Amino acid sequence: MRILMIGDVVGQPGRRAVREVLPSLLQEHRPDLVIANGENAAGGNGITPDTAGELFASGIDLLTMGNHVWDKREALTFLEQEERIVRPANYPPGTPGRGYTLFPVRGDLKVGVINLSGRIFLPPLDCPFRLGQELAAELRRETRVIVVDFHAEATSEKVALGWYLDGQVSAVVGTHTHIQTADARVLPGGTAYITDVGMTGPRDSVLGVKTEIILHRFLTQLPVRFEIADGVVQLEAVLLDIDPATGRATGIQRVQHCTTP
């Protein structure tokens, strides 16, 4: 089984990158499932029915979220209705939406997808380690193929969760920091791991925002209004190869594509 996991989609440029680059990736790699982190899909913060619909129409099967999940008011009702979106599972009980899902792929095969948020430099949610382990055990009753999107800031927290869940899930992939890391590997227990999948959006930017705005902020320490950059767009992702019988990953490959200027 092959799964394509796309890094944080940022605003209109990120949605354009998906629309323009994903068709060739689908043709080249033939993934069984395409997942993307969509928490920045609407103007850089949050998601709406229209932006989610655009991503689904472009070939994405399932969206994960993160700390910006509630930045658009529509999400409070939309996530209750849209079963193809999962938000961090470690939000308190009663929070709208769902934090994990079983997604059918081919035949009677299903893929378990868990979304978790880190707690270092982010809101103090429930423990992602204990909850991740509990949810993985629950999903293993239905499938051996389980992918965890860990939306976290600190590299230490991400690496630690990868080791903690090694052998219990098929993959732990990091999102949120928008910079693809060079540490993709399969851990000894058979769990594919990468600290950050990267960003899908404007290449010539600071994490998707216009460079001059961020430079002004660093130089003056004054508040600024973020604006999404434009120009050449990139899509960053990882390809996960997984044995569906055992749930063990057999490979993880980084993907980086840019549109032509």
For 30-142, where are the alpha helices, taking DSSP H only?
A: 49-57, 75-81, 128-139
How far is the C-alpha of 205 from the C-alpha of 137, rounded, in Å?
Answer: 40
- Could you list the active site residues? 68
Residue 154 dihedral angles phi and psi, to the nearest 5°: -85, 130
The set of residues, in sequence order, having a beta carbon less than 8 Å from that of 258 and lying 6+ positions away, is 203, 232, 233, 234, 235
Separation CA 122–CA 67 (nearest Å): 8
Are residues 103 and 110 in contact, defined by beta-carbon separation less than 8 angstroms?
A: yes
d(CA 86, CA 171): 16
Integer Cα distance of 1 and 76 in angstroms: 34
Distance of CA 103 to the CA centre of its chain: 15
Alpha-carbon span 41 to 190, nearest angstrom: 32
SS3 call for 111: strand
Neighbours of 35 (CB within 10 A): 27
